[in-house]
Amino acid sequence: MIVQIRFSIILIILFSLMGSNIFIPTSSAQEEIQIPNWIKNVAGWWATNEISEKEFLDGIEYLINNNIIFLPFVPCGGVAATAASDPTLAAKLVPDWVKNSAGWWATDQISDADFINGLKYLINNGIFGIDNKNIKGKVPIEDVKFSSAWVVDNDNLVFVSSSFFEVYGTNGDCVTKRIPNSDLVTTNIWKSNMLGLNPNKIDQYNEVALWNDPQNAVVVYPYFTFAAYQPQGFYDYYRGDCDDCTTIKFAQPTSEYTSSGHGHQALTLLGYPSITDIEIDKNPSILQQFDKVIMLHNEYVTRAMFDAITSHPNVIYLYPNALYAEVEVNYIDETITLIRGHNYPESEITNGFDWQFDNTHPYEYDSVCLDMEFYKSEDGWLTTCYPDLLFLTNTDTLFNVLKTIKEL
């Protein structure tokens, strides 16, 4: 029976590694992994029930903070955050079968590399819980500058990644997903992220920011689109979950993928002033004050907005799917009503303004943006992918995109 259990656990680890495309190093590479002896001792003590699960996790978090377990993007530990907020909850952060693997590693029956790679897969897929409060970035959060356009609660932020921007998340603010080809449901995806400037990268930022090259430019935050994606919003209507959700209430914005939160933070961090849908709707002539207008995922706009935007001589539509559906706004009731577009009120209606430059298909669903390009139309510059996740990376593509926005 012991042999069967051990064989099953090894298969689980191996299948996990293969499923995540992790390369298991050769023997020579394995020797380069430097793990303090006390960590292995801790694993052995936990395997024999001499210490608690928390003490074992403290050791794993040490490995993460010292890049022995390298996580370029720290997952959201929702279970750990919930357990920390309510000590009466008996949260299980580590599957029982990992304890056996820890024992084998402590007694040199499996290699350092195999054990570390297995842990990395389990952490990345939310199977293995970590306390995000204990994971630290190299730059103290006190030295990170966040966008003044957003309300930021430093006390509740936790480190996620150090890319071109420093990336943080709100502790425990996770959404669930199902692991492909598995019955496991995890909560390791951040609902939203906050971006900040790393003080050690000012020279890089200077090349793409407006601080030393002031321009008469503005970025438009898609407030109406943010509201449309909220619960009891338009998408509940589209899914058939709500018959009267074509009218929605105003909502307090948070940084979300569907409303280009990362892009807005990035540009405002780099010195771009910002206005909202509301300001344009109430005063369409406001855009005439600017030489360059940068639209984000402004999917839902009013007729007044549409006319003001499309008549401006220099607009960058940074996200596909802009100007897709017409809405009306009641500022007394603080409501937004869907009028036309997105297969409403007739299924054959796609773009609510019949805008000839609509580039929703095929570009909206490319969120990887490996080859993002800008192309010119009569109404301005458009792009070939949905770039919100790009702002979480540290790639040449991101730098070139920011440089292009500055130069257009």
Task: Give the count of alpha carbons within 13 A of 84, CB side only.
Answer: 15
pLDDT attached to residue 5: 37
In this prediction, residues 57-84 reach a mean pLDDT of 82
Q: Which of 6-10, 59-63, 209-213, 383-387 has the highest mean pLDDT?
A: 383-387
Between 328 and 17, name the one with better pLDDT.
328
Find the helix or strand (DSSP H, E) in which 304 lies: helix 303-310
pLDDT digit string, tens, across residues 168-206: 999 988 887 665 555 555 557 898 999 999 999 999 999
Coil, helix or strand at residue 227 = helix
pLDDT digit string, tens, across residues 140-171: 999 999 999 999 999 999 999 999 999 999 99
Lowest pLDDT segment from 67-76, 292-301, 323-332: 67-76
Residue 123's identity, in one-letter code, is: I
Residue 89's identity, in one-letter code, is: L
Average per-residue pLDDT in the chain?
Answer: 87
pLDDT attached to residue 365: 94
Beta strands in 14-81 (DSSP E): none
pLDDT attached to residue 123: 86
In this prediction, residues 51-73 reach a mean pLDDT of 91
Q: Yes or no: say if 289 and 211 are a contact pair by the CB < 8 Å rule.
A: no
Q: Where are the alpha helices (DSSP H) in 86-201?
A: 96-106, 112-124
Lowest pLDDT segment from 21-25, 111-115, 316-320, 381-385: 21-25
Q: Where are the alpha helices (DSSP H) in 168-245?
A: 202-208, 223-228, 234-238
Lowest pLDDT segment from 26-35, 202-211, 367-376: 26-35
User: Is the per-residue pLDDT at 11 higher than 50?
Assistant: no
pTM of the model: 0.86
User: Is the per-residue pLDDT at 62 higher than 60?
Assistant: yes
Longest dimension (CA), the chain: 77
CA 209/CA 288 separation, integer angstroms? 22
pLDDT digit string, tens, across residues 359-394: 999 999 999 999 899 999 998 999 999 999 999 999
Domains in the chain: boundaries: 2-134, 141-198, 209-407
In this prediction, residues 95-114 reach a mean pLDDT of 89
CB atoms within 10 A of CB 307: 13
Top-level CATH class of 209-407? alpha beta
